[in-house]
A and B are shown apart, each in its own frame.
Chain A
Amino acid sequence: MINATLKQLSQQLTAGQVSAVELATAYLDRIDALNPALNVFITVDREKTLAEALAADARRAAGQAGLLTGVPIAHKDIFCQQGWKTSCGSKMLDNFISPYNAHVIEQCQAAGLVTLGRANMDEFAMGSSNENSFYGAVKNPWDVHAIPGGSSGGSAAAVAARLAPVATATDTGGSIRQPASHCGVTGIKPTYGVVSRFGMVAYASSLDQGGVMAQTAEDCALMLNVMAGFDERDSTSLERTREDYTRDLAQPLAGLRVGLPREYFADGLAGDVGRIIDNAVAELKKLGAEVVEVSLPNTQLSIPAYYVIAPAEASANLSRFDGVRYGHRADEYKDLVEMYEKSRAEGFGSEVKRRIMVGTYVLSHGYYDAYYIKAQKIRRLIANDFAAAFAGCDVILGPVAPTAAFNLGEKSGDPVQMYLSDIYTLSVNLAGLPAMSVPAGFADNGRPVGLQIIGNYFGEAKMLNVAHQFQQVTDWHSKAPAL
């Protein structure tokens, strides 16, 4: 049962083979056993979870169940959830119990999904290794010495360790794809605007996008059906006709044009990761896909552009954490300015402070044009690169990260090295495109490696189709770590 996919759990619930309470209890027991070692969850609340499960069973009994009613889920601790601590991985919000629900949470509750707990993450979603969480890093279930990836490390590890069949997550510069890759699970970041940001604690508003991780592409499609949709409370939410993201899963891949950006296979890509991607491409060729080389010439510029734009937006987004209305406030201060200074100095970790300072600097008088405006121009160039590439292909394939998961502590002293590892994921957010990570093999050190699939705008169904077909002929996604 613990290895079951969403689809299988849905069938078992519908058939009455298992109840939501039984399912929730099984997962909670496993969390109790494994969480102390893996540090996946920030908050677990058995009572609340079982109350939700009981309600789900009542819905089933009343004949009002949806496909996923009673299925347990882990929520990244970035989505505001009424009555639950929503810490965003920060000391600043360690005392914050949300009085309201994010749109994503509302949608999950409407579908009858049962909250298992709140997944650990890099503080305010800033990080690639999960080492920036106030609650300590999540351990990679495949190797507790390895990073799980970030910022949605808790979500990825929860699915990988089978502590939850599915987990919500967010992706600002790779925060779904990179941990999914490092933990060997399937993750999707939709087109910017598909999932409402209402109630998602903001890091970089123009880049943040909610998404999901599960074992399979099919499960991701089912979840996207729940999470996507217009929300008038988010001005950047897109008003579009509802889609069934499962509709194209079974389509054969014959004639599919797969673009391989030459810049993604250049220097810096580890040999073992490169071979895994090559093998994955070979599998897709066998399924009838044809491969074309494409170019994304401004890929290198995505790092400086991202690390200007994201901190700039973050520096303003995080100003609300001032100790005045909620969140951490210093115990002692002599005046208002000192209250701000001490509360923020104590409440934020070092990476968050670094990005606030960078962001404040690039927006400052005299530097704005040289940094912020320039970065926005690069952003446009990057979007243009993708537009040109998609003129000749249906999806773009490549690695998610240059290497498999590195060791905890390996790069934490060198932020620039850490930033450079985001090279293959950042440009997707800058362009607002959808992308996935699909388990594709194991590196020489035995750690999982994901294949990145980048779709054109609103190409989620196409990406999911490619991923699903790949998963029909491979079994990387169903491998679980021995725990």
Chain B
Amino acid sequence: MKWEVVIGLEVHVQLNTVSKIFSGASTAFGAEPNTQASLVELALPGVLPVMNKAVVDKSIRLGLALDATINQKNIFARKNYFYPDLPKGYQISQMELPIIEHGKLAILVGEEEKIIRVTRAHMEEDAGKSLHEDFHGLSGIDLNRAGTPLLEVVSEPDMRSPEEAVAYAKALHTLVTWLGICDGNMQEGSFRVDANVSVRPFGQAEFGTRREIKNLNSFRFLEQAIKYEIQWQIDTIEDGGKIQQATVLFDPDSGETRMMRSKEDAHDYRYFPDPDLLPVRISSEQIDTIRAAMPELPGQMKARFAEAFGVSAYDAALLTSSLAQAQYFEAVASATGQGKLAANWVNGEIAARLNREGLDIAGCPIAAERLAGLIVRIADGTLSNKLAKQVFDALWESDLGADAIIQRDGLKQVSDVGAIEKMVEEAIAANPKAVEEFRAGKEKALNALAGQVMKASKGKANPAQVQDILKQKLTQA
């Protein structure tokens, strides 16, 4: 039987506010345990939550970017359950009337664009952390993270493969970092993904029973977990079993998912409106003000890059994978007028080198204007591709500009016809055998001769010219 995969994602986006959602305590990561837990996070008797308005503003930014409905009346609800790292015994979240509803986000599936619908996104507070290591038979509680603002972004079950799920997660990750509302640090838990996965026979209208994989904190784990889960579900059904609705955890070491709790153990969270918080009303003016200050979005920029610089849709998508990347590219492309060349270098050499050295574009030692200097010299024929790579390496290592490096290392490409002709003639004279083979129709022999010329020029001869002149000389004689 052929199976169709159905995936929906719930992403917890940690909003990068300075203080917590309901108190003035700092949200900075990595402090000594419980040093960033105020009276409110400790849930002392008598303390009360006070809404951090920055959370609303940042949420609205995402809502606008997702082309979603922004609910102008927001109600906070208490979600009740007991856990040691949930100090109040309830989480303040939103149930009815979440701030964002009916959004959409485009992803690229191969070369095709696909729209994933965003059901809703609601504001809530994060819990603390339970630490089970180092406490010999006890658990430690760190409430530093408690009260950190989250936006939980819930998609429709619109994804049909692990690749689509990853593409959606990446697109959302790009968007929230682009908007400057989340630092995107997945290792520190700033962007955590829950995946709802089910399978159904192709052509069946109803969804299969889903299992939810909790807390995936890298795109790689997301992909691995979903792939494993799909296979597990298919195997289970094909072996005559039935899928039970459940929450599962992914173990990166074994690469497997395992059951955390079944539907029968599901909590009754007993949501009700939090009487400590008044409804948050958002005015149309507030939305308009935020809309006016919105940056150009990845989708818009992608289209503009294709249009203005003639780069392919695929390249444009890569270039807009982060705002810093896009701005870097645009600076190079605008300075040189060489969109395609700039795209090739940014997506090629720069990306590969950054990846190898574990850097991101913000940490790139070659500033945009220095790369532009290199590209100008490629475009005007001063540098061959080979020489360009040498200059690139030098740019990476030093603070000099491309021209200074060319000067210093004598890397200027030789395009002087007379000089090349002289070297070509010497190569022909020195390699009669290759000449003979070429004339006998062995095209490859030409490359050997060209190689000799390049070698003689110490790689500086313009390769295209060398080819032309060689052919010319060999056919003339």
* B44, A205: Cβ atoms closer than 8 Å: no
Q: A80-B46, A197-B48, A364-B268 are in contact. Are A324 and B87 (CB under 8 A)?
A: yes
Q: How would residues 68 to 88 of chain B score, 1 for a CB under 8 Å from any chain A CB and 0 otherwise?
A: 000000000010101010011
CA A325 to CA B128, docked complex, whole Å: 13
User: Contacting chain A: which of B201-209, B271-279, B445-453?
Assistant: B271-279
* B141: A residues at CB distance < 8 A: 324-325
* B89, A363: Cβ atoms closer than 8 Å: no
* A202, B44: Cβ atoms closer than 8 Å: no
Indicate if B42 sits at the interface (CB-CB under 8 A). yes
User: Contacting chain B: which of A150-158, A260-268, A311-319, A399-407?
Assistant: A311-319
Q: A206-B275, A235-B277, A340-B82 are in contact. Are A325 and B87 (CB under 8 A)?
A: yes
Give the contacts of B251-270 with A (CB-CB under 8 A).
268, 270
Residue of B nearest to A199 (CB): B46
Give the contacts of A90-109 with B (CB-CB under 8 A).
93, 96, 98-100, 102
- Closest-CB distance, A98 to chain B (whole angstroms): 8
CA A88 to CA B44, docked complex, whole Å: 13
* A316, B48: Cβ atoms closer than 8 Å: no
Q: How large is the interface on B (under 10, 10 to 19, 20 to 34, 35 or more residues)?
A: 20 to 34
| Interface hub of A206, A324, A360 (most chain B Cβ within 10 A) | A324
* B43, A320: Cβ atoms closer than 8 Å: yes
Residue of B nearest to A366 (CB): B268
Q: How would residues 39 to 51 of chain B score, 1 for a CB under 8 Å from any chain A CB and 0 otherwise?
A: 1001111111111
Indicate if B221 sits at the interface (CB-CB under 8 A). no
* B46, A235: Cβ atoms closer than 8 Å: no
User: A interface, by DSSP: helix, strand, loop or mixed?
Assistant: loop
Indicate if B90 sits at the interface (CB-CB under 8 A). yes
* A199, B82: Cβ atoms closer than 8 Å: no
* B87: A residues at CB distance < 8 A: 320, 324-325
CA A295 to CA B419, docked complex, whole Å: 111
Contact check: which of A201, A312, A315, A316 meets B45 at CB < 8 Å? A201
Contact check: which of A99, A200, A201, A319 meets B89 at CB < 8 Å? A319
* A205: B residues at CB distance < 8 A: 275-276
CA A363 to CA B88, docked complex, whole Å: 17
- Closest-CB distance, A370 to chain B (whole angstroms): 14
CA A454 to CA B470, docked complex, whole Å: 107
CA A206 to CA B273, docked complex, whole Å: 11
* B78, A88: Cβ atoms closer than 8 Å: no
Q: How large is the interface on A (under 10, 10 to 19, 20 to 34, 35 or more residues)?
A: 35 or more
* A202: B residues at CB distance < 8 A: 45-46, 276
* A235: B residues at CB distance < 8 A: 48-51, 276-278
* A278: B residues at CB distance < 8 A: none
- Closest-CB distance, B41 to chain A (whole angstroms): 10
CA A325 to CA B268, docked complex, whole Å: 24
* A80, B44: Cβ atoms closer than 8 Å: yes
* B90, A319: Cβ atoms closer than 8 Å: yes
- Closest-CB distance, B146 to chain A (whole angstroms): 11
Give the contacts of A300-317 with B (CB-CB under 8 A).
312-313, 315-316
* B45, A88: Cβ atoms closer than 8 Å: yes
* B84: A residues at CB distance < 8 A: 322, 324, 336
* B48, A96: Cβ atoms closer than 8 Å: no
* B272, A236: Cβ atoms closer than 8 Å: no
Indicate if A232 sits at the interface (CB-CB under 8 A). yes
- Closest-CB distance, A365 to chain B (whole angstroms): 5
* A372: B residues at CB distance < 8 A: 272
* B45, A233: Cβ atoms closer than 8 Å: no
* B88, A236: Cβ atoms closer than 8 Å: no
A-B CB contact pairs (8 Å), 17 listed: A100-B44, A198-B47, A198-B48, A199-B46, A202-B45, A204-B275, A234-B48, A235-B278, A236-B275, A315-B80, A320-B88, A322-B89, A325-B87, A326-B44, A336-B139, A363-B272, A365-B268
Known A319-B80, A325-B141; further 11 A-B contacts with Cβ < 8 A: A79-B46, A86-B45, A198-B46, A201-B46, A202-B46, A316-B89, A316-B272, A318-B89, A319-B88, A325-B42, A368-B270
- Which chain A residues have a beta carbon within 8 Å of chain B's beta carbons? 79-80, 86, 88, 93, 96, 98-100, 102, 197-202, 204-206, 232-236, 312-313, 315-316, 318-322, 324-326, 336, 340, 360, 363-365, 368, 372
The 10 closest A-B pairs by CB, nearest first: A319-B89, A363-B270, A206-B275, A205-B275, A201-B45, A199-B46, A320-B43, A80-B46, A365-B268, A201-B46
